[in-house]
Amino acid sequence: MTTPKHLRTLLLGAATCAAAGLAFYACSATTGGANLASGDAASKVYVPPGQYDQYYAFLSGGYNGQIGVYGLPSGRLLKFVSVFSQNPETGWGYNEETKPMLQTSFGSIPWDDTHHPELSQTDGVPDGRWLFINANNTPRVARVDLTTFETTEILQIPNSAGGHASPFTTPDTKYIVSATRFSVPMHNADVAISSYKQNFKGTVSFIRADQPGRMDIAFQILMPGYNYDLGHAGKGPSDGWFFFTTYNTEQAYEKLELNASQNDKDFMAAVNYRAAEQCIAQGKGKSVPADYFHNVVDEKSHQARSERKTSVTTLDPTACPGVVYFLPTPKSPHGVDVDPSGEYMVAGGKLATVIPVHSFTKMQKAIADKAFDGEEYGIPVLKYGATIAGEVQKPGLGPLHTEFDGKGNAYTSMFISSEIVKWKLGTWEVLDRMPVYYSVGHLMIPGGDSKKPWGQYVLSLNKITKDRYLPTGPELSQSAQLIDISGNKMKMLLDFPTIGEPHYAQALPAELIRNKQVKFYRLAENSHPSVVKAESEGGITRSGKRVDIKMAAIRSHFAPDNLEGVQLGDTVYFHVTNIEQDWDIVHGFAVQGAENAELIMAPGATRTLKWVPKATGVYPFYCTDFCSALHQEMQGYVRVSPAGSNVALMANVSRKAQAQMASAAANRKDDSHEQHKPAGKER
């Protein structure tokens, strides 16, 4: 049935593919061109006003260093979680409380690159406690608390460069991992780049992650100087093992584009981390100097603190035989994904023509039989034929990542042929293909890397959108596409743009975290040193050239809202506490000329803004978050006088607060600092 309209769509589709410069392969797989939505797609993604989505999806923001939270199936953007980048929507990394979270051994790093969100698991299934994510450039891992959607902990990884194979979790969340994408000389040694083979090493770090606030590197395994790209833990029978892909086994250090693509096969590294634990327990690890930071938000004061760490335990695999094996894997593999049963390890060989699948059972047998093909740097290389369970033939071009539906099927993203390919575990036959627009990187099924996937949808996380949306100048929107996988055939349901480049994503049913949300921080428990718990506690104090202003924010005023006695040359700290105890009643604070930031205060939280006035005058400050009908009245003034001026410190407060103070006056002890508390008479 070719109506003129269908024909037009078909032609348009072909033109589109040509324009995008993609292999014709992608187009030949399509039948309907650009519009592939199935007939009932709209009703399947429609979430009526006032109703909730079924899933929370956490999409890496890629080079924006954050996490986008979307509802599925609607694709509605709910929130950005601030992690490795300063975020002007939350004040993360700008206010004094959260600045320490971005501290590293290189100083404060206000912008990093995230790739892989990873949900914590219990017995191999996402449990909704935490979300972990990696920083690529200055290797770090972060913990996000899913009751607050806030980052509570960040750990830097030393002896690492490009923390890409990270932060994948073990089934019990005892460990998350981080492996070096770039091999580097250990301990920042100053060596010739041409000494790569002798001096450059990779590391694979196992990070203790099941104790909030106490993330730490349990041990770091020294690996040959290859590039370690991705990893996944074993589960079920393969529990206790971790699998990493490596490329550049050529150990090229220039023109990798060419020189790292010479070998027909690179490796998958199989790491027996329980055996590594034993070796460490037997004292075979070595404590070496290292320089890295651990940053934690204190639960009660909402203030972050940084701790500088000075050593790390490393393990040389040759000192601990049986800890690492190499499995030859074609060709420059990218993803490594373990199926829900834990038997199959699927590699995505970017440049390979098949999808190779290793068998854990066969791997165990090959190890027992010593079916080795030599060794590399003392690490046994298993024979390819001895570990391979099967190869998916003609899957498409450029397989990258695989997720599972829990019904015996695997879904692999094909970057070059721009499609998602469904195939069957065990028979390795291709069952279905869905073109995606365009050039998919990761794909994601809720729970799709766990023991029990919720195999209803797959989300395609695409690199290029070209003609999919209204154009927005030289840089076009990034994109996700939602596909129904509940039936035999995949059905395209929805395109939605994403902010940042979503490399990987994870999702879980909303009910796992929806009812655990913190609604406000308890003021009574707020232990911030500059908290005010009532309007009457506001005030201004001086200590040398430092002025501290404690202030309450409540609908719809600040207390105090008139401040005098600040002088040029002072550094002023506004400590503003939102004393509301109501869900979602947020206030902001901005003062003219503050270079550093504004503030946003969640109910019950204290935030601090540093302000160095540059000229005398009277400066307004105001609330930046529309909080009530009288939000526009939520403002005040701070007066700045010349250095050495005799204008006294003055902080007024409201009449209500004055009344409170009068009754409490008797009980109050005075501060040792020169202090002016209210009564603010005009001078």
**CB of 561 or CB of 625, closer to ligand CUA:** 625
Q: Which stretch binds ligand CUA (CB under 6 A): 4-12, 147-155, 498-506, 622-630?
A: 622-630
Choose, by CB under 6 A, the member of 127, 631, 658, 675 that binds ligand CUA: 631
Those residues with Cβ within 8 angstroms of residue 241's Cβ, 6 or more apart along the chain or in another chain? 233, 234, 270, 271, 272, 273, 360
**CB of 235 or CB of 401, closer to ligand K7E:** 401
**Residue 625 interface partner, choices ligand K7E, ligand CUA, none, CB cut-off 5-8 Å depending on type:** ligand CUA
- The Cα–Cα gap between 506 and 401 comes to 13
Residues 553-582 that bind ligand CUA (CB under 6 A): 556
By CB under 6 A, tell whether 600 contacts ligand CUA. Answer: no
- The Cα–Cα gap between 650 and 68 comes to 43
Tracing tokens 């040193």 back to the chain, one arrives at: 529
Q: How far is the CB of 635 from ligand CUA (least distance, A)?
A: 9
For 278, other C-beta atoms within 10 Å of its C-beta total: 14
Largest CA distance in the chain: 92
# residues contacting ligand CUA (CB under 6 A): 8
**CB of 422 or CB of 557, closer to ligand CUA:** 557
**CB of 232 or CB of 235, closer to ligand K7E:** 232
Q: Which of 454, 493, 510, 455 is nearest to 43 (CA)?
A: 493
Write the interaction track for ligand CUA spanning residues 75-94; mark x where CB under 6 A is met and - where it is not: --------------------
Choose, by CB under 6 A, the member of 96, 484, 598, 625 that binds ligand CUA: 625
DSSP string, 178-199: EEESS-EEGGG----GGGHHHH
Is 62 in contact with 503 (CB distance < 8 Å)? yes
Residues that bind ligand K7E (CB under 6 A): 115-116, 164, 230, 334, 400-401, 441-442, 503-504
**CB of 97 or CB of 625, closer to ligand CUA:** 625
By CB under 6 A, tell whether 400 contacts ligand CUA. Answer: no
**Residue 99 interface partner, choices ligand K7E, ligand CUA, none, CB cut-off 5-8 Å depending on type:** none
**CB of 129 or CB of 587, closer to ligand CUA:** 587
Residues 438-467 that bind ligand CUA (CB under 6 A): none
- The Cα–Cα gap between 531 and 638 comes to 20
**CB of 266 or CB of 625, closer to ligand CUA:** 625
Q: How far is the CB of 285 from ligand K7E (least distance, A)?
A: 29
Those residues with Cβ within 8 angstroms of residue 33's Cβ, 6 or more apart along the chain or in another chain? 9, 10, 11, 12, 13, 14, 16
* Strand segments (E) across 273-428: 286-297, 304-315, 324-330, 333-338, 344-349, 355-359, 372-376, 379-382, 388-392, 399-404, 409-414, 419-424
Q: How far is the CB of 558 from ligand CUA (least distance, A)?
A: 8
- The Cα–Cα gap between 343 and 339 comes to 7
Q: How far is the CB of 532 from ligand CUA (least distance, A)?
A: 15
Q: How far is the CB of 94 from ligand CUA (least distance, A)?
A: 18
For residue 97, what are the CA distances in angstroms to 326, 529, 549, 599, 601?
45, 11, 15, 11, 11
- The Cα–Cα gap between 683 and 680 comes to 9
Binding site for ligand CUA (CB under 6 A): 556, 587, 623, 625-627, 631, 634
